[in-house]
Structures are given as structure tokens and as C-alpha cells.
């Protein structure tokens, strides 16, 4: 379980997160939603110790963020931030294999090779495994980075808007793959999503942020209604039912 306790964050005097208290369930897919500038990415990077905590505490499976050595945490939690620019000239397979670094310190074993291959297959990347990443499209690169994060083999996967740059087909493929990982391997996935329907369809739990505070959290059934969504996103959107599941007509 990830426990966030009284966490506040300010950047040059401007408050970004205010007194966040949150428990993220230890299995399944948890979606972080909310308007731009709500603090979703900041919260994720605080949990993953990418920036120092200013106030409050965070624990991941009992490990205190900030006090736990980075390498230990890297075996429990993997993070993918939005669009990290990789300047290095690397092939897809090499980049995915970096996910094994917290376990092997750079000395690649046969087991690492097998796990890398499995990650490539899982995200359907085998056909361009030997291409250089700077020759890929934005969407393909995004998938490669998700595969690397997956290859880290951690119980927690934190993904910041992984659907960026993906077309409808690949967005659906990726969400299905993540759902499958959460179900079959009992790993926990925390994912920042902008598409409310992806969140409602694939997540088990939704946390909504607005102006740096949690405004709603609970299973999709509790969030997917006009009142809650208006409170989160600031306008009225119809919610219909399709085969018994809620579907948000957010573009109307």
C-alpha cells in the first residue's frame, strides 16, 4: 500500500499540493485524474522520490520515501514520467534491458535477457527490437518506455500519462495490457489519465485532484456521475450507460 500523509508542496511560493492524505490500494489499477495543473504529476514524482518531499511523509509498502536507499526503492517501485527525452543512442532492446539495472547493476544475465524479451513481447515490440530509439515515432517510443518500466519487475508501476502520443488503437492495447498485468501478476499500477472514459473503464479505483487537493476518490461507479465530474472538471457532462457500464460523454 502507498500511504501519503499530510503532503504539501510549493514551487517558488506557489502552492502545488496542499495537505494530501491518501491511501492507494495495493492491487489493481488506480487512476489519477483531474484538470491540468491539479498536481497529479507532482504527486507521482514525490511518491517516486524524483523530487524531495517538502512536507509530510510517504511510504511505499512500508518503505519510507526519502529515507530508503534509491536502489532498494527501485526494486519496489518503477516510474515513467511524461516524455523523458532519451539523448543516448540506444537500440530498443538495450533501453528495455535497462529496466533490469536495479537488480543486476549492469551485468546482464540470461534471466535478464529472458525478462527483456518477455517485456518486448508483452508490448508487441519485437518487430523493431533492434532499431535505434531515435528512429521511432513518438507513440512507439512511449510504448518502449512503458516496456522498460515494466521490465523493472517491481510490484508498483507509476505511469504519468502513458497514453500521450498514442492513437486509439495503441491506447486501448496499452490499457488492456496494463489491466492484464494488474490481474494476472497482482501488481499495482498507478496511472495519470486525461481520458475519463479510459479511467472509468480500466481502473479499479479513481483519485481525483483539483487545485492541489483530493476532491474525490473511490471506485469508478462512485465517480462516474454528472455531479462528481462537474466538481472535478468544472463543467456538466452527461453520463450514459452502455451494457450496464457508465460512459461519459465528456466531449459534448
Residues contributing to the site for other proteins (CB under 8 A): 45, 48-50, 69-75, 78-81, 84-90, 94, 98-99, 101-102, 105-107, 149, 152
Helix (H) / strand (E) containing 13: none
Instruction: Output 102 or 220, the one with its CB closest to other proteins.
Output: 102
Instruction: Output 162 or 220, the one with its CB closest to other proteins.
Output: 162
N residues, the chain: 252
Q: What are phi and psi of 201, to 5 degrees?
A: -75, -40
Q: Least Å distance between CB 94 and other proteins?
A: 8
Q: Least Å distance between CB 75 and other proteins?
A: 7
Q: Least Å distance between CB 41 and other proteins?
A: 11
Task: List helix spans (H) across 13-154.
Answer: 40-47, 70-73, 92-97, 101-104, 110-122, 138-151
Q: Least Å distance between CB 154 and other proteins?
A: 10
Instruction: Output 150 or 202, the one with its CB closest to other proteins.
Output: 150
User: Exposure pattern of 55-70 as b/e (b: 16+ CB <10 Å)?
Assistant: ebebbbeebebeebee
Q: Least Å distance between CB 70 and other proteins?
A: 5
Instruction: Output 33 or 79, the one with its CB closest to other proteins.
Output: 79
Instruction: Output 62 or 234, the one with its CB closest to other proteins.
Output: 62
Strand positions, DSSP E, 186-225: 188-192, 205-210, 213-218
DSSP output for 26-51: SSEEEEEE-STTSSHHHHHHHHTTSS
Amino acid at each position: 500500500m502507498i500511504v501519503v500523509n499530510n503532503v504539501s508542496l510549493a514551487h517558488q511560493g506557489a502552492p502545488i499540493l496542499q495537505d494530501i492524505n491518501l491511501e492507494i490500494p495495493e492491487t489493481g489499477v488506480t487512476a489519477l485524474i483531474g484538470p491540468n495543473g491539479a498536481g497529479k504529476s507532482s504527486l507521482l514524482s514525490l511518491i517516486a522520490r524524483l523530487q524531495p518531499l517538502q512536507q509530510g511523509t510517504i511510504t511505499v509498502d512500508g518503505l519510507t520515501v526519502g529515507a530508503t536507499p534509491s536502489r532498494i526503492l527501485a526494486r519496489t517501485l518503477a516510474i515513467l514520467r511524461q516524455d523523458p527525452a532519451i539523448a543516448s543512442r540506444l537500440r530498443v532492446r538495450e533501453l528495455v534491458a535497462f529496466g533490469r539495472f536495479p537488480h543486476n547493476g549492469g551485468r546482464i544475465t540470461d534471466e535478464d535477457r529472458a525478462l527483456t524479451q518477455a517485456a518486448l513481447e508483452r508490448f508487441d515490440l519485437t518487430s523493431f527490437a533492434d532499431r535505434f530509439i531515435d528512429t521511432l515515432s513518438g507513440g512507439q517510443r512511449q510504448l518502449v518506455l512503458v516496456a522498460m518500466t515494466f521490465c523493472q519487475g517491481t510490484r508498483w508501476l507509476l505511469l504519468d500519462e502513458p497514453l500521450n502520443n498514442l492513437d486509439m488503437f495503441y491506447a486501448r492495447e496499452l490499457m488492456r495490457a496494463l489491466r492484464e498485468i494488474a490481474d494476472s501478476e497482482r501488481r499495482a499500477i498507478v496511472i495519470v489519465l486525461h481520458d475519463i472514459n479510459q479511467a472509468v473503464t480500466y481502473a479499479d479505483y479513481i483519485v481525483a485532484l483539483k487545485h492541489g487537493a483530493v476532491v474525490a476518490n473511490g471506485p469508478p461507479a462512485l465517480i462516474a456521475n454528472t455531479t462528481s465530474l462537474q466538481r472535478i472538471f468544472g463543467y456538466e457532462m452527461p453520463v450514459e450507460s452502455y451494457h450496464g457500464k457508465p460512459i461519459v460523454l465528456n466531449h459534448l
